[in-house]
Amino acid sequence: LQLSSVTGDIFTSQDERAAYAKFLADGALSVLSSLASESTTTTDDGNDDGRHSETVDMLSMVQCLVANFKISLLSRLPNFGNLLQALASVGDSLLRQNVADCTKLQG
């Protein structure tokens, strides 16, 4: 999470900055894709809190990526569209889980 918050004059060129953003975005995509596929398979392994925490951390990382590297740079990355799709999938899953929880609790 902290690696996505790195700012300042640490990159010697825009190419280095873009390569670092790509590295972080690809890592976030990998984890978000894994979380999205886990959420579609219902398992009662007692690790829901761990997955929820990991999901929140990854969403925070993506927020830091956007804040630090801006959409103008991120949108040029090859997997940016896939990252957006993974974010949408995870968001949809979180919404569905919350609706199911509210329905179950009649709230």
Which of 80, 91, 86, 81 minimizes the C-alpha distance to 56? 91
The span from the CA of 52 to the CA of 35, in Å, is 9
Q: Can you give the pLDDT at residue 2?
A: 73
Question: Domain span at residue 13?
Answer: 2-104
**Mean pLDDT, the chain, whole residue set:** 86
Residue type at 36 in one-letter notation: A
CA-to-CA distance for 83 and 34, rounded, in angstroms?
Answer: 12
Query: Of how many residues is the chain composed?
Result: 107
User: Using one digit for the tens of pLDDT, what is the confidence trace for 7-59?
Assistant: 778 889 999 999 999 999 999 999 998 887 776 665 555 666 677 788 888 89
Please tell me the total count of domains within the chain.
1
Residue 30, Cα to own-chain centre: how many angstroms? 9
pTM for the complete prediction?
0.79
